[in-house]
Structure 1
Amino acid sequence: MLVRAHRTPRRAAALALGTALVSLLATSPAGAGTSGLPVVTATSEAAALYDDEAGGNSDADDPAIWRNAADPGRSLVVATAKEGGLKVYDLGARLVQSLSAPKPPAEDDAPGRFNNVDLVSGLHTSAGRADVAVVTDRGNDRLRIYRIDPSRPGGPLTDATDPAAAPVFSADQSEINDQRTAYGLATWTNKATGRTYALVSQRERTRLALLELVPAAGGKVGYRKVRTLDLPSSFRLPDGTSWSACAEPGELPQVEGMVVDPATGTLYAGQEDIGIWRLRADLTGKPVLVDRTKEFGVPGVYDEATEECVPGADPGYGGKRLSADVEGLTLLQQRGGNGYLLASSQGDNTFALYDRDVRKGNAYEGGFRVGAASETLDSVEECDGAAILNAPLGKRYPRGLLVVQDGQETPEVPDGEGGTRTATGFKFVDLGAVVDAAGL
């Protein structure tokens, strides 16, 4: 029987190692940079999601922003809630539609679990062009595709997944139940060929897969695997030793946050314990490590009893900006190829910004935090997913929108057993406020 947990042993181990190291770095000049970052506040938030039976095992993870070209003020935010399925919000953070994740094929099989989401505009289907949301169903190791139509009476999203869609990484249901399945996601349309792809990472592995989205009968959408690429799991340090990130035995440093720069066909992939990679979106060529986590190179010993990593002495080979996990990669696109890559530094609850221009080496350009606006509109912690749309969205967001996942929603709600319910959610932030505060 599968056992569910909000925070996996791997994540608990990484955060424990990161917390210990951040405490150490905060007292040193190298770690002092994050404490003085500007603070912005959210303008609104979606209702909290609860990862328990009463809450439908809903756990907020990753958002995407769909712009309604005909009426930008009626644009939508599509967001994953793991076993809670898919949530659709309006720009006021009000729930518009909720779609359930698929039920398990059999009682002891893994249930559907929607992990990451990205959008495609004008995808070619057998029923014509369509805007779609693409979702990784980690529970079933598949992609799910949803057509977006705001005029539809039953809700703007309808399932357009080809029923014949095969598992992405698994050979059979037994492997699917092991949950080394489809995890992170980014979509990409090759401007030279017009073909559209989904780049998918594998949970607890370093593998990335390039899947082409293909039309199927009746307006449905399927996919075919083009190639895979494995990022490193161990690294040679300057002192000649080999280092691997501390994790639960058998697990490798996975990728979740990913985004493709459409202007250059460049994929940015956040290997959670390692850092941010830059590589070609067609998964050819050699990946380049743009920035490392502060924990990079720090030895750690996994403690089976506590399910946490105990860090050793820091040899000083890590970066200065990112505290594991690296999450929530998204782009702030500007005209002329200008703009920024945003990454969630989950271990210290900050967001880092890098120059979008590869010719400048994706230089670090600053960062910020999302602080509390009031007692009820709280700050953002342990952010998993983030999405930016730099375009006018009606009167509410004339300078664009940033949506971020909040891993610790407050105020806390009692669970009736002496504890509190595990609560997560999504914060809506005025992108103009971010641009002004960060001096972009």
Structure 2
Amino acid sequence: MFPTSWSSYVVTPRKSLVVLATAVAALAVTVTGPALAAGSLPAVTARAETVALHDDEAGGDADADDPAIWRNAADPDRSLVVATAKQGGLRVYDLDAREVQSIPAPAGPGADDAPGRFNNVDLVHSKRLGDLAVTTDRGNDRLRIYRIDRDRAGGPLADVTDRTAPAVFSASQGEINEQRTAYGLATWTDPATGRSFALVSQRERTRLALLELTARADGSVGYRLVRTLDLPKSFRLPNGTSWSPCGEPGELPQVEGMVVDPANGMLYAGQEDVGIWRLKADLTGTPKLIDKVREYGVPGTYDEATEECAAGADPGFGGTKLTADVEGLTLVKEKDGDGLLLASSQGDNTFAAYDREISDANEYEGGFRVAAASATLDGSEECDGAAALNEPLGRRYPHGLLVVQDGHDAPGDGDRPSTNFKFVDLGKVTDTIDD
């Protein structure tokens, strides 16, 4: 459960590979305790879905990934969902899941350089900076920052990124092109100081960076590095052996899904092939692994021919609620300070819910699936990103909204890769978990 040495934390992420189906089946047999099999978890259905995006040349290399929900306090019916489409940039949707704005990702600086690729997005609500949408541009290793104005001519988002903003992790364009760049993202405003921050993970590495968002005299918004922290890449198992998740040579177990609880300044970070970490959002102190994936501790051997990891025998050290990858993390906040942490269990197409209260050790509260509502409105599979907002959003979602990415939109368009976002009544989710 713990790293070989806590000295591996330094104060200054690879998509997981497919594990052979037979190994996954063997892992499922080992699940014990209160966890339910994925198929027996209760289901909720979406109320609406966005138009499918296609990750091919004809579709502009657009691939749905991560959403965020902006509430229009003056008119909640006119609230928005801001979502990343990777090389396809950003999409902005209304509450009917209709597209109201499309923002292309910027090109790379040269013809042979990596193009822009928007990976994760989160929002900032700040007296100093206003309402902002912040996204990681994985292609260029930068943050891109947009001011939100629902009534702005030309679309509600306007680019206010400081043009001199530096690369987050890379020292040169050559390093940027290697794409060990800005990946996962969570924003946080410190209530004590009013300062706003972005927490950013590094692709194919275990590093997290804390960046302070800063206002410029020309009205743009930049950022400066505060500190970094490295999560473990290897772990000491109860039997005394050391384990690292299997991956391509040179790749480390990355983090993508992240969210900060504003009530206590705690960051939850999903290390995809390991589990969910809880740590201070200022990246100080000692992180705690609050739950592990089922595959935790399972040895694997990478096969270059198949580009897959073949799993060995399960030693039984994993968790019972999450199947790798751990992906989108989001909070359901209650007015009394209670609430839930929701996590996408991508490997079995489910979601796990944990108590938001640290005093309850983030106890597991239940799980659910987003299932098909009809032949034309399917559920969510292989979910990457998720966002919840437990506030009334007008007549459509008076009990709040959950938006989840669907990695395999159906019925699809022939052999074209199809992804989109599902809009779910959050009240149905909380009722399901409470039952």
The TM-score range, normalised by the shorter chain, is: over 0.9
In the alignment, is residue 427 of structure 1 matched against residue 429 of structure 2?
no
Structure 1: how far apart are the matches of 2:339 and 2:42? Answer: 19
| Counterpart mapping for 1:137-286 below 5 A | 137-286=137-286
| Counterpart mapping for 1:17-36 below 5 A | 19-28=21-30, 30=32, 32-36=36-40
In the alignment, is residue 82 of structure 1 matched against residue 77 of structure 2?
no
Q: 1:383 and 1:20, CA in 2 relative to 1: closer, same or farther beyond 3 A? A: farther
In the alignment, is residue 438 of structure 1 matched against residue 433 of structure 2?
yes
1:182-201, Cα deviation, whole Å (9 max, x unpaired): 00000001111111100000
Deviation at 1:33, TM superposition (A): 3.7
Count of equivalent residues:
421
8 Å CA contact 1:275–1:326 kept in 2: the answer is yes
What residue in structure 1 maps to residue 352 of structure 2? 352
SS in 1 for 2:434: coil
What residue in structure 2 maps to residue 16 of structure 1? 19
Tell me which amino acid in the other structure corresponds to 1:421: R
Structure 2: how far apart are the matches of 1:21 and 1:401? Answer: 36
Q: Give structure 1 stretches of 5+ with no counterpart.
A: 1-8, 415-419
Tell me which amino acid in the other structure corresponds to 2:28: A
What residue in structure 2 maps to residue 390 of structure 1? 390
In the alignment, is residue 109 of structure 1 matched against residue 104 of structure 2?
no
1:331-388, Cα deviation, whole Å (9 max, x unpaired): 0000121000000000000000000000110010001000000111012100000000
Structure 2: how far apart are the matches of 1:153 and 1:32? Answer: 49
Deviation at 1:435, TM superposition (A): 1.2
Structure 1: how far apart are the matches of 2:126 and 2:205? Answer: 32
What residue in structure 2 maps to residue 341 of structure 1? 341
Deviation at 1:330, TM superposition (A): 0.3
What residue in structure 2 maps to residue 4 of structure 1? none
SS in 2 for 1:69: coil
Q: 1:342 and 1:184, CA in 2 relative to 1: closer, same or farther beyond 3 A? A: same
1:287-342, Cα deviation, whole Å (9 max, x unpaired): 00000000000000000011000000000000000000000000000012100000
What residue in structure 2 maps to residue 417 of structure 1? none
Structure 1: how far apart are the matches of 2:298 and 2:30? Answer: 16
What residue in structure 2 maps to residue 58 of structure 1? 62
SS in 1 for 2:87: coil
TM-score (norm 2): 0.95
Deviation at 1:27, TM superposition (A): 3.7
Structure 2: how far apart are the matches of 1:152 and 1:111? Answer: 28
8 Å CA contact 2:14–2:203 kept in 1: the answer is no
Structure 1: how far apart are the matches of 2:108 and 2:200? Answer: 22
Tell me which amino acid in the other structure corresponds to 2:216: A
8 Å CA contact 1:21–1:295 kept in 2: the answer is no
> Which deviates further from its counterpart, 19-28 or 110-119?
19-28
Deviation at 1:104, TM superposition (A): 1.6
Structure 1: how far apart are the matches of 2:39 and 2:58? Answer: 38
1:218-237, Cα deviation, whole Å (9 max, x unpaired): 21000000000000000000
Deviation at 1:21, TM superposition (A): 4.1
Tell me which amino acid in the other structure corresponds to 2:125: S
Structure 2: how far apart are the matches of 1:301 and 1:123? Answer: 51
Deviation at 1:24, TM superposition (A): 2.0
What residue in structure 1 maps to residue 104 of structure 2? 100
Deviation at 1:217, TM superposition (A): 2.4
What residue in structure 1 maps to residue 5 of structure 2? none
Q: Give structure 2 stretches of 5+ with no counterpart.
A: 1-12
In the alignment, is residue 312 of structure 1 matched against residue 307 of structure 2?
no
Q: 1:50 and 1:271, CA in 2 relative to 1: closer, same or farther beyond 3 A? A: same
Structure 2: how far apart are the matches of 1:377 and 1:217? Answer: 47
Divergent runs of 4+, >4 A: none
8 Å CA contact 1:350–1:367 kept in 2: the answer is yes
8 Å CA contact 1:22–1:348 kept in 2: the answer is no
Tell me which amino acid in the other structure corresponds to 1:23: A
Structure 2: how far apart are the matches of 1:138 and 1:123? Answer: 28
RMSD over aligned Cα, in angstroms? 1.3
Tell me which amino acid in the other structure corresponds to 2:227: R
8 Å CA contact 2:326–2:344 kept in 1: the answer is yes
8 Å CA contact 1:123–1:196 kept in 2: the answer is no
Tell me which amino acid in the other structure corresponds to 2:246: C
8 Å CA contact 2:16–2:325 kept in 1: the answer is no
Deviation at 1:12, TM superposition (A): 5.8
In the alignment, is residue 328 of structure 1 matched against residue 328 of structure 2?
yes
Q: 1:123 and 1:223, CA in 2 relative to 1: closer, same or farther beyond 3 A? A: farther
What residue in structure 1 maps to residue 41 of structure 2? 37
Tell me which amino acid in the other structure corresponds to 1:115: N
8 Å CA contact 1:25–1:32 kept in 2: the answer is no
SS in 1 for 2:218: helix
Structure 2: how far apart are the matches of 1:29 and 1:153? Answer: 54
Deviation at 1:421, TM superposition (A): 0.6
TM-score (norm 1): 0.94
8 Å CA contact 1:83–1:113 kept in 2: the answer is yes
